[in-house]
Structure 1
Amino acid sequence: SENPKDPIAIERLNLMNMAKLSIKGLIESALNLGRTLDSDYAPLQQFFVVMEHCLKHGLKSKKTFLGQNKSFWGPLELVEKLTPEAGEITASVKDLPGLKTPLGRGRAWLRLALMQKKLSDYMKTIINRKDLLSEFYEPNALMMEEEGAVIAGLLVGLNVIDANLCMKGEDLDSQVGVIDFSMYLKDGAHSSKSTEGDGQITAILDQKNYVEELNRHLSASVNNLQAKVDALEKSNSKLTEELAVANNRIITLQEELERVKEESSYLVESSRKVNNTVLIVNKHSIEQQ
């Protein structure tokens, strides 16, 4: 079993608890604010700082010609390989003017993923691929352990938040990410508000889950109806073909009937002519007698 005094394990636990507080605080404050969040919103800035610390935990040093380099941009770039739709974010990050460092790109990526409401999905995607993460992280890093999975799960709550973050002019390369602990040290009077906030968050997440379930149900109904429409269209198409064949048959029969009528009238006419000839011959022979 894990040594409870293992300093790395304590770091992971502390970071996970900070992430919990940060995510919870951000959701609560954003819901109370009731508007789209921008880059200046302090709880949001703090959330990104905490996420950065989580992603940096246990990163392996990459030796470069400039010396040691630790960057969480590498693991984030993996997402694109595992979830092609994330390529849009990676491309946007690379196109952002002014970003010169992997750290800046990583920070921009986190912001774009949050705006897309995909941060939780993308984090879960890489968390599930320890085989790939091991290239970037030590085995006891937060992203390689249970705490990483817990944080990835908590991030889904942020999907209720709307954020519009303009990154132009924001110095993402050289910002110093310091956790402001004062934001999380609330007095006892806050606890009842906090409970109320928890209830509010739960209600919203329940509502979100209900809406998603409803969407799934509606999608299934739509698919079912579409299948019926397709079947009817096929049936209709078959009937149309059969009708066309029947019409062709009718036309053919009508043509045959006309031909038979013509032949019949020709035969009648021929017979009449023969009869007339016979009568004339008979009459002539009688006269001669």
Structure 2
Amino acid sequence: MESGCVQTAMAMGLTSKKASARSVTVERKNLITVCRFSVKTLLERYTEEPIDDSSEEFINFSAILEHILSHRFKGSGSWFSSDGQRSFWEYIRLACSKVQNSCIASIENIENISTSRAKGRAWIRVALMEKRLSEYVSTALRDTRTTSRRFYDDGAIMLREEATVLTGMLIGLSAIDFSFCLKGEALDGKSPAVIDYTPYLKFTQSYDYLSDEEDRRSVDSSNSEESVPEHPYIPLVTDEESWSNKCRKMEQRFKIVYAQKGYLEELVRLRESQLKNVETENKRLRAKVEELTLQGQQEKKELEAIVLELQLVLSYFRYFTRNYTKVLGKILCFCSFIIAYFLCFLSRRSFHSLDQLSPQVSLNSNSQKMDGRQNGDAAWTSAGKTADAEHLQYIMFYSQWCSAQTQHIGTCFKSIIP
């Protein structure tokens, strides 16, 4: 029993999800389709005079675009909106902040427009007058992080491929001149935008088909075998006035197409100029990369040579330390022995000056006597003098040997380290 209830609940939840997904899909299709019709209506409405706020076609288009930009918009309130209602203007303000020479800052500084919804409507009008509405929307769509994470839920038009179709539709509006007043009632931001679907739901009878009256007449006449229809066909153009109307409409369409052609040609020239600039910058960057590559290779060779030289010095140093450590140890031991012996010698003999340490002075000063003031020592005996001289000669010999070994080690150091 419980498993059946669970399955029923799961089935109902799945059905609800499918219904919700279908409703979102239908909303997207309806808005994109009615937007296409609205753009076509504006192009047909435009002659030579600019379109202003009084045009019903523009009012409907503005409402449709507002619904598209607000489709599945996250949240109804924002701490940074003055009116407490979060509208698509918050998204446009952030996503289009990097557009060059944009109107975002100008709209923010308009005094009589305070609400977020009113600023969004003012942006639509200013972008149309600048003929840059498609550029703004394209730039906003490229900022996917802002679009997907902060402002729109899943299934929104701005997150789907329909958004690319929307930018293509808006390009055609660049051929129309718009003139708006940014102080009108349409910018109050209090009244919601309502779409009028009736202009796009009218059924227009084509000239190729019979009218309802003729259709009934043909059905009635088919009951009698002798009846013959009065008009075997309905002419495409009935009178001269229809010809002039059709000619006038064709002329208007030609003007619109010609204006669109001029705009697209100008757009192509602009893109070609931008492409040339990008190619020039690309060549410059490639040359810079090649230069840096050559410089890096040269520095790499220099560093490799330095590493080899350091390795050679290290190998010499290892060889020197391995072969001369024992010699240095012997020299240090002998030096310590000499110092100890010399200190013992000095403790036994006291000299007035360092000149008495010379062996020549010791050997040639047989008649010299120590001063009687130093504890009354007697003069040196000849045997004592001879022993001291031998000790001094022994010390001087090993001192010269240590000096020679030290000079040899210094020469080895100079040969290793230039």
Relative to the length of structure 1, the TM-score reads: 0.64
Runs of 4+ in 1 over 6 A off after TM superposition: 2-5, 65-68, 190-200, 215-221
Trace 1:1-289 onto structure 2 (pairs within 5 A).
6-30=22-46, 33-64=47-78, 69-86=85-102, 89-134=103-148, 135-172=150-187, 173-189=189-205, 201-213=256-268
Deviations 1:120-150 (A, max 9, x none): 0110111122211121001210111111111
- Whole-Å Cα distance in 2 between the matches of residues 123 and 195 of structure 1? 31
Which residue identity is paired with 2:141?
I
- SS of the residue 1:85 aligns to: coil
Aligned residues, how many? 216
Instruction: Give the structure with higher Rg (CA).
Output: 2
- SS of the residue 2:185 aligns to: coil
Which residue identity is paired with 2:160?
E
- Whole-Å Cα distance in 2 between the matches of residues 131 and 67 of structure 1? 26
Q: CA deviation at 1:28?
A: 1.2
Q: Kindly indicate whether structure 1 or structure 2 has the higher relative contact order, using CA contacts under 8 Å at least 6 residues apart.
A: 1
Q: CA deviation at 1:41?
A: 1.1
- SS of the residue 1:99 aligns to: coil
- Whole-Å Cα distance in 2 between the matches of residues 94 and 214 of structure 1? 32
Q: Does the 8 Å CA contact 1:4/1:10 hold for their aligned counterparts?
A: no
Deviations 1:18-67 (A, max 9, x none): 1111111111111xx32111111110111100000001101000544799
Gapped runs of 5+ residues in structure 1? 222-289
Q: Does the 8 Å CA contact 2:69/2:158 hold for their aligned counterparts?
A: yes
Match of 1:273 in 2: none
Which residue identity is paired with 2:101?
E
Deviations 1:54-91 (A, max 9, x none): 011010005447998441111110244231321xx122
- Whole-Å Cα distance in 1 between the matches of residues 96 and 275 of structure 2? 29
Which residue identity is paired with 2:171?
V
Change (3 A) 1:176 1:217: closer
RMSD value, Cα: 3.5
Q: Does the 8 Å CA contact 2:137/2:167 hold for their aligned counterparts?
A: yes
Change (3 A) 1:59 1:102: same
The more displaced of 76-85 and 162-171 is: 76-85
Q: CA deviation at 1:191?
A: 9.5
Gapped runs of 5+ residues in structure 2? 1-17, 209-247, 277-418
Amino-acid identity (%): 29
Relative to the length of structure 2, the TM-score reads: 0.46
- Whole-Å Cα distance in 2 between the matches of residues 91 and 67 of structure 1? 19
Q: CA deviation at 1:219?
A: 10
Q: CA deviation at 1:179?
A: 0.7
- SS of the residue 2:37 aligns to: helix
- SS of the residue 1:84 aligns to: coil
Change (3 A) 1:103 1:5: closer
